[in-house]
């Protein structure tokens, strides 16, 4: 009976590990070879044998940096774009300085408020510096950035085009952004001009593309945006392009750094955050168990609490993110907090908070494991490791689902629509 219970438990652990790795393989932090080796190591030595590889991968994830350069002429909207990408307004603490004259005379980095390894760099526009193009390229050190965004407010100048051609030699990924589109459309409206908005946008886009092509850039992609309403125009298309180009780890970081503008972004964040859960569950099973008070089933509570705090930050549910979103949406913080339905928001995450949640997913794991340990105390340590994996996996999955649901409701309360 004991042997059967042990095999059943090991089988359940293996089942969760295989499901997690299969789920991750669609857009995994691991290569296919690494995933195959993980499975082989687990089959030959259990969770202990894969601990080192998993810990190395988590360390890599935590230490990887994403650097985005933003350049363009004076008054093009570089600083406003950087602030918008970080979920900030010009008068928020830590916001990039905004002005119609060139306020940036050297590369200035602005870290994401919740993800310090993500940094947006405000570069001087080439037209604002009295230096030849070659010197400018050397001074700006474009090869240190993961991708470059070139912003223009009216039209792409000859300097922009020359810069783009040179950047292409140094950096694989660069994008053209035409900002202040809302101003262009408003000018047409105020002038009493009758026009179709979609046709006007198409005309502006085509004009930008043709000018860039004439300077020798064969297939430029131009994105039309407003820095003050990122749900309009081409911002979602720009995000899709930026998401598709970086490596899997950088794609994960970029998505998590996006401001919560709609439910689609929140759902993308959920998928990215879920990729780490099975790795953390493995570590919880081998690092050592710190019991949850009131629950006889153990897990590494430090791992659980640390990751839930990370979920909060990435999903925009910490206090500073809620305050920034409220300002952008013209709502009160209280209005946004009123729709939050999980106790994981609004206070410190402690073992007692986790205990009070009484998630069904965690509770249904307890009886089988407790029964096995009670009947066969000699093999208790085997079940401790297995139960810690399952408990951590289910606790974090439940927490992520709860927080995502609240983040979706907050977006609805802020903008009044899912999209």
For 233, the token pair is 């125009």
User: What is the structure's pLDDT at 312?
Assistant: 93
Range scoring the smallest mean pLDDT among 83-92, 125-134, 361-370, 390-399: 361-370
**What rounded mean pLDDT belongs to the chain?**
75
Q: For residue 376, what pLDDT band results from cuts at 50, 70 and 90?
A: very low
Query: Strands 222-224 and 290-291: what pairing?
Result: unpaired
Does the pLDDT of residue 122 top 80, yes or no? yes
DSSP annotation of 300 reads B
Do residues 139 and 102 lie in contact, with contact meaning Cβ atoms separated by under 8 Å? no
**Average pLDDT rounded to a whole number, residues 372-381:** 33
The alpha-carbon radius of gyration of the chain (Å, integer) is 25
> Is residue 267's pLDDT more than 90?
yes
Q: Which of 70, 91, 73 is nearest to 81 (CA)?
A: 70
pTM of the model: 0.78
Provide the percentage of residues in the chain whose pLDDT is more than 90.
12
Residues facing residue 149 across a β-bridge: 70, 175
* Tokens at 109, concatenated: 């980095």
Could you report the per-residue pLDDT of 34-65, keeping only the tens digit for each? Answer: 777 777 776 777 666 777 778 888 888 888 88
- pLDDT at position 409 is 94
pLDDT at residue 342 in the model: 86
- Domains of the chain (ranges plus CATH)? 2-63+266-415 (no CATH), 66-259 (3.40.50.300)
Confidence of residue 370 (pLDDT cuts 50, 70, 90): very low
Given this model, what pLDDT does residue 11 score?
Answer: 52
Q: How far apart, in whole angstroms, are the C-alpha atoms of residue 301 and residue 56?
A: 20
Helix (H, G, I), strand (E, B), or coil: what is residue 418?
coil
Q: Is the pLDDT of residue 347 over 70?
A: yes
């Amino acid at each position: 009976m004991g042997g059967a219970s042990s095999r059943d438990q090991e089988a359940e652990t293996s089942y969760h590990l295989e499901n997690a790795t299969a789920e991750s393989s669609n857009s995994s932090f691991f290569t296919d070879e690494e995933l195959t080796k993980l499975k082989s190591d687990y089959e030959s030595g259990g969770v202990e044998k894969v601990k080192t590889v998993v810990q190395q991968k988590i360390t890599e994830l935590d230490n990887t940096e994403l650097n985005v350069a933003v350049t363009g002429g004076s008054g093009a909207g570089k600083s406003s774009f950087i602030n918008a990408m970080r979920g900030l307004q010009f008068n928020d603490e830590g916001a990039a300085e905004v002005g119609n004259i060139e306020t940036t005379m050297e590369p200035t980095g602005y870290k994401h408020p919740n993800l310090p390894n993500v940094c947006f760099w405000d570069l001087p526009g080439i037209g604002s510096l009295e230096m030849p193009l070659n010197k400018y390229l050397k001074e700006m050190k474009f090869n240190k950035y993961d991708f470059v965004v070139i912003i223009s407010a009216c039209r792409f100048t000859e300097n922009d085009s020359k810069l783009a051609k040179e950047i292409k030699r140094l950096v694989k990924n660069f994008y053209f952004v035409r900002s202040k589109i809302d101003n262009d459309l408003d000018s047409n409206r105020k002038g009493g001009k009758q026009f179709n908005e979609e046709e006007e946008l198409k005309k502006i886009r085509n004009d930008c593309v043709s000018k860039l092509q004439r300077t020798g850039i064969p297939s430029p992609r131009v994105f039309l945006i407003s820095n003050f309403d990122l749900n309009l125009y081409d911002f979602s298309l720009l995000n899709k392009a930026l998401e598709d180009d970086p490596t899997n780890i950088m794609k994960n970081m970029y998505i998590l750094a996006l401001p919560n503008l709609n439910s689609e972004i929140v759902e993308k964040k959920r998928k990215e955050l879920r990729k780490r859960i099975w790795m953390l569950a493995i570590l919880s099973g081998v690092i050592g168990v710190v019991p949850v008070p009131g629950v006889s089933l153990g897990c590494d509570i430090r791992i659980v609490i640390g990751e839930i705090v990370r979920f909060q930050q990435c999903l925009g549910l910490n206090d500073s993110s809620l305050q920034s979103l409220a300002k952008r949406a013209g709502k009160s913080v209280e209005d946004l907090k009123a729709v939050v339905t999980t106790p994981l928001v609004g206070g410190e995450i402690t073992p007692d908070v986790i205990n009070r949640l009484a998630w069904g997913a965690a509770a249904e794991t307890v009886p089988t494991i407790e029964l096995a340990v009670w009947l066969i105390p000699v093999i208790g340590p085997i079940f401790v490791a297995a139960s810690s994996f399952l408990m951590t996996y289910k606790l974090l999955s439940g927490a992520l689902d709860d927080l995502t649901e609240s983040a979706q409701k907050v977006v609805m309360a802020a903008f009044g629509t899912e999209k």
